[in-house]
Amino acid sequence: GQNIDQPTEMTATEGAIVQINCTYQTSGFNGLFWYQQHAGEAPTFLSYNVLDGLEEKGRFSSFLSRSKGYSYLLLKELQMKDSASYLCAVRHNTDKLIFGTGTRLQVFP
C-alpha cells in the first residue's frame, strides 16, 4: 500500500527557518515532489528529488533519504507570502502521484 504522512499545521515567524517533514511508505518509488498551494489556488511545483541528498533552489531546499522513506522541505528567510499549504507527493513507476494531505504553514510578523 501507499502511505504519506506530514504534519497538519505549522507556524513560524517572518525571517525564520522552518522544516516540513514528510515520511512515506510505498512501492515502486520514482521520485518525490513538493508542491505549494495558496488558499483557493492550484498547487504549483516547488521541488523534485529522486536521489538521496539535498536539492537547493533559492530560499527553498528539499532533502530525500530513500532508505528511510523520509523527505523534508526547508524554507529559509520566511516571508508572509510563504503562508500556504505544502504538499508532499510520491511518484510511482506508473507515473501517477500520490499526495499527502498537506501541511498548512502560517507565517506571523
Partner 1 sequence: DAGVIQSPRHEVTEMGQEVTLRCKPISGHDYLFWYRQTMMRGLELLIYFNNNVPIDDSGMPEDRFSAKMPNASFSTLKIQPSEPRDSAVYFCASSSPTGPHYEQYFGPGTRLTVT
- Measuring CA to CA, which residue among 109, 101, 108, 84 is closest to residue 24? 101
- 72's grid cell: 523534508
29 in contact with partner 1 (CB under 8 A)? no
Q: Which of these ranges, 14-22, 59-67, 71-79, 92-100, lies near partner 1 under the rule CB under 8 A?
A: 92-100
7 in contact with partner 1 (CB under 8 A)? no
DSSP 8-class letter at 74: E
43 in contact with partner 1 (CB under 8 A)? yes
Residue 37 makes CB contacts below 8 A (sequence gap 6+) with 43, 44, 84, 85, 86, 87, 102
94 in contact with partner 1 (CB under 8 A)? yes
Q: Which of these ranges, 19-27, 56-64, 74-82, 93-101, lies near partner 1 under the rule CB under 8 A?
A: 93-101
Residues 51-70 that bind partner 1 (CB under 8 A): none
